Chain A
Amino acid sequence: MKNQHLDRFEIRLSGLGGQGILTLGKVMGSGLALGQGYNVTQTQSYGPEARGGASRSDLVISSEKISYPKAESVDLLIALSQEACNMYYRNLKPGGLLLIESELVKQPPVNNFLGLPFTSLAKDKIGLVQAMNTIVLGAATYLLPFAQQKVIRKNLEQILPAKIVEINVKAFNLGYKEAKKNFGDPEELWKANSVVVPDEDTDYDSI
């Protein structure tokens, strides 16, 4: 399966310390970089804010060489806490998408957002609250028009310790399924975003 050509696509994952934001960034980044072959830079909040409180991980994804490694204007903002949502929604670029934890972000700052109760899903359907971030990964994989479900899932299986692979694959599939059920066609959602180049572009393998 061919990769869609990307100029520069930025994702910010944000939430509370302990929600697995940094692991989520690492897993998503390595799936897109090693699995799908994109150029990816992943940076993260580091230091005092990484110990409890807010946590953040940024991904820049491109088919081209990435010069500037930090996220500047975000295409997809995933906010798993009210605080993170308040802090970062301003970085969302016009046409970008906001995905929230609908039970933890009680007051979304914009009207146009997507939400799922990730924590409850993890508790009720998976039986393991720590699997929440993998559900988010599944949902994000559905939302990202260039992410390939099989590749990301395979990478997830390779990167995680054998003991927890099964439960995480279950969580990943749940996230993907829930997103599909609730969010509708991702192509439609991204129409306003000019970064995603239509699939007809065939010149992308030359770099």
Chain B
Amino acid sequence: MARPKKKKNKEIFALGNEAVVEGALLAGCDFYAGYPITPSSEIMEIMAQRLPRIPNGSFVQMEDEIGGLGAVIGASLAGRKALTATSGPGFSLMQEHIGYGCITETPLVIVNVMRGGPSTGLPTSPAQGDVQQARWGTHGDHSIIVLSASNVQECLEMTIEAFNLAEKYRTPVILLIDEITAHTREKITIPNEAEFEVFNRTLPTMPPEWYKPYEETVRGVPPMPAIGSGYRFHVTGLTHDVNGFPTSRPDEVRELNERLFRKIDQFLHDVQIVEEIDTEDAEVAVIAYGTVARSAELAVKQARDLGVKAGLLKLKTLFPYPRKATEKLMYRAKTIIVPEMNMGQISREVKRVNNGQVSVRTINKVDGQIITPAEILKVLTRV
């Protein structure tokens, strides 16, 4: 038990969904728009309570998820830090606007509380079926950041992270959690202001008449003024030139599309967050994310007690897929086990990294139930 420290942080007993709200507000979120959907609705309900109480906070319930994300993009363009939360069916409706967010480089955060699918599926049961949709759901080739959280404390921390990455790289960031974590109450610690960093988008420093909205910069991320701040520019979902106006000139089109990838891909060390547990000498390693990572953690501990050199790579960033961390694991481990509440979405990525060096085993479960520690332990001890 942690003894009270000199200055005790505030602790609360909260749902995963509540922790998302706490994290968002700590990160400076001051706008929410969305549409109710199980099992994410608590995020919206609590935002409706909290946002009117903070200076400049605003909240609007839209007519559908398309409208929710549309309003979020509008607010972000107007200088706000904006959030929307949804689940599978709503997430599918948002896909068109995610692409708009990518090409217009609009910072925003979408929390998708994954439930069983396809379609209405299992609205109140957990799943991890939207992993590849988060990566590839919107049309057109694009780069995007997808994060995940495996417990209530991480819901808070990864929401802060999501906002920071969105602002830093001017991109939509998707945070995937699942129904279990969203609806589990746990004691969490609210960090003090000094304990976490808040990143805000870079504003232009040049006079408005010099400003080119999509000009190349050192980081590949152009500065972004708010609508109404004196920088009048054009925002469009059409492929545009550095001035923001539609273009179909191949050189300008290529430049934009390549920069959209490059701005994220050249900072993978900053974007890819993983947690390694007992991996130094692991001969058999589990790669897991979301609530399943909790089961995996216990299974690894139990396997160690039985003398198996087991380890866990917990993914907090799902995309861009943490290739380096996976490769490092494969230098030593002979077998990698990937348990998922789907028929194999991250294991696909693991196998792509693998190149046939190690044996990749999957544990797949799509019955609306969480994968238990025992189920992972069984495979851990057999290989």
Contacts and interface: CB of A to CB of B under 8 A. Distances in A.
Direct contact of A and B (CB under 8 A): yes
B297 A67 contact: yes
Nearest to B372: A68
Contacts of A43: 180, 183-185
A26 B185 contact: yes
A26 B186 CA distance: 10
Interface residues of A, number: 28
B196 interface: no
B294 interface: yes
A46 interface: yes
B298 A40 contact: no
Contacts of B179: 46
B1 A70 contact: no
B3 A40 contact: no
B216 to A, nearest CB: 46
Contact of A205 (B1, B11, B38, B125): B1
B183 A41 contact: no
Contacts of A38: 1
A34 B8 CA distance: 12
B295 A68 contact: yes
A184 interface: no
A39 B183 contact: no
A34 B373 contact: no
Interface string A52-86: 00000000000100111110100000000000000
Contacts of B295: 67-68
B261 interface: no
Contacts of A46: 39, 124, 179, 183
The SS class assigned to the B binding surface is: mixed
Contacts of B125: 47
A198 interface: no
B3 A34 contact: no
Interface residues of B, number: 29
Contacts of B11: 33-34
A69 B39 CA distance: 17
Choose among B181, B294, B297, B372 the residue with the greatest number of A CB atoms under 10 Å from its CB. B294
A16 B275 CA distance: 41
A69 B124 contact: no
Given A29-B13, A34-B12, A48 B185 contact: no
B301 A67 contact: yes
Nearest to A50: B124
Interface string A15-44: 000000000011001100110011111111
A3 interface: yes
B60 to A, nearest CB: 26
A70 B297 contact: no
Contact of A33 (B181, B186, B370): B186
A68 B294 CA distance: 6
B1 A69 contact: no
B372 to A, nearest CB: 7
B187 A205 contact: no
B2 interface: yes
Interface in B2-37: 2-3, 11-13
16 contacts: A3-B1, A34-B11, A34-B13, A41-B186, A42-B13, A42-B185, A44-B183, A47-B38, A48-B124, A63-B1, A67-B373, A68-B295, A68-B298, A68-B373, A69-B291, A72-B372
Interface of A: 3, 25-26, 29-30, 33-34, 37-44, 46-48, 63, 66-70, 72, 204-205, 207
Pick the 3 closest A-B CB pairs, nearest first.
A47-B124, A67-B298, A30-B13
Given A26-B185, A33-B13, A42-B186, 17 more contacts: A25-B185, A29-B13, A29-B185, A33-B187, A34-B12, A34-B187, A40-B186, A47-B123, A47-B124, A67-B294, A67-B298, A68-B298, A69-B186, A69-B291, A70-B180, A205-B1, A207-B2
